[in-house]
Amino acid sequence: MVKSSFAAFADRLGAQNFSQANLSKFTPDRIKIELLSGLTVALALVPEAVAFAFVAGVHPLVGLYAAFIVGLVTALIGGRPGMISGATGALAVVMVSLVAQHGVEYLFATVVLMGILQLAAGVFRFGKFIRLVPHPVMLGFVNGLAIVIFMAQLTQFQVPGTAEVSGHGMSGGEWMSGWPLALMLALVALTMLIIWALPKFTKIIPAPLAGIAIVAGVVIAFGLDVPRVGDMASIEGGLPPFHIPSVPLTFETFKIILPYAVILAAIGLIESLLTLNLVGEITGKRGGASQECIAQGTANVITGFFGGMGGCAMIGQSMINVKSGGRTRLAGIAAALFLLAFILVGSSLIEQIPLAALVGVMFMVVIGTFAWNSLRIMTRIPLLDAGVIVLVTVVTVFYDLATAVVVGVIVSALAYAWNNARRIRVIERDSVRTPGAHVYEIEGPLFFGSTDGFAELFHPETDPDVVIVDFMRSRIVDQSALQAIEDLARRYEAQGKTLQLRHLSRDCHKLLTKAGQLMVDSDDDPEYAVAVDYSVRTGAFGGGH
- The answer for residues whose C-beta is within 8 angstroms of residue 539's C-beta and 6 or more apart is 545
Strand runs labelled E in 101-184:
none
Q: How confident is the model at residue 149 (pLDDT cuts 50, 70, 90)?
A: confident
Per-residue model confidence (pLDDT) at position 517: 63
The string of pLDDT tens digits covering residues 427-439 is 999 887 788 899 9
**Share of residues in the chain with pLDDT > 90 (%):** 55
- The answer for residues whose C-beta is within 8 angstroms of residue 2's C-beta and 6 or more apart is 135, 136, 139, 374, 377, 381, 385
Query: Count of H helices and E strands in the chain?
Result: 23, 7
How many residues in the chain? 545
Q: How confident is the model at residue 294 (pLDDT cuts 50, 70, 90)?
A: very high
**Distances from the Cα of 122 to the Cαs of 2, 126, 272, 494, in angstroms?**
30, 6, 12, 53
* Type of residue found at 230: G
> 305 pLDDT exceeds 50?
yes
Per-residue model confidence (pLDDT) at position 431: 82
Strands, sheet with 425-430, edge to edge from the N-terminal-most edge strand: 425-430, 438-446, 466-476, 498-502, 519-520
User: Could you tell me which residue, 35 or 172, shows the higher pLDDT?
Assistant: 35
Per-residue model confidence (pLDDT) at position 164: 56
Sign of the CA dihedral running 276, 277, 279, 284: positive
The string of pLDDT tens digits covering residues 350-361 is 999 999 999 999
Question: Which of helix, strand or coil describes residue 166?
Answer: strand
> 409 pLDDT exceeds 80?
yes
> 8 pLDDT exceeds 60?
no
- Report the predicted TM-score, pTM, of the whole model to 2 decimal places: 0.77
- Say how far apart CA 73 and CA 69 lie, in whole Å: 6
The string of pLDDT tens digits covering residues 98-136 is 999 999 999 999 999 999 999 999 999 988 888 888 989
**Burial classification of residue 98, based on how many CB atoms lie within 10 Å of its CB (0-12 exposed, 13-18 middle, 19 or more buried):** buried
**Share of residues in the chain with pLDDT > 70 (%):** 88
The string of pLDDT tens digits covering residues 311-367 is 999 988 998 998 888 989 999 999 999 999 999 999 999 999 999 999 999 999 899
- Say how far apart CA 453 and CA 421 lie, in whole Å: 8
The string of pLDDT tens digits covering residues 165-221 is 444 444 556 889 999 999 999 999 999 999 999 999 888 889 999 999 999 999 999
- Say how far apart CA 452 and CA 450 lie, in whole Å: 6
Helix axes 251-283, 89-102, angle to 10 degrees: 170
| Domain parsing of the chain, residue ranges | 2-12+28-412, 425-543
Per-residue model confidence (pLDDT) at position 514: 59
> 274 pLDDT exceeds 80?
yes
Most trustworthy range by pLDDT among 12-26, 324-338, 472-486: 324-338
The string of pLDDT tens digits covering residues 427-474 is 999 887 788 899 999 999 999 999 999 999 999 999 999 999 999 889
**Distances from the Cα of 419 to the Cαs of 9, 336, 384, 390, 472, in angstroms?**
30, 48, 11, 20, 21
Q: What are phi and psi of 85, to 5 degrees?
A: -125, 160
CATH class of 425-543: alpha beta
Per-residue model confidence (pLDDT) at position 410: 93
Per-residue model confidence (pLDDT) at position 284: 73
Question: Which of helix, strand or coil describes residue 83?
Answer: coil
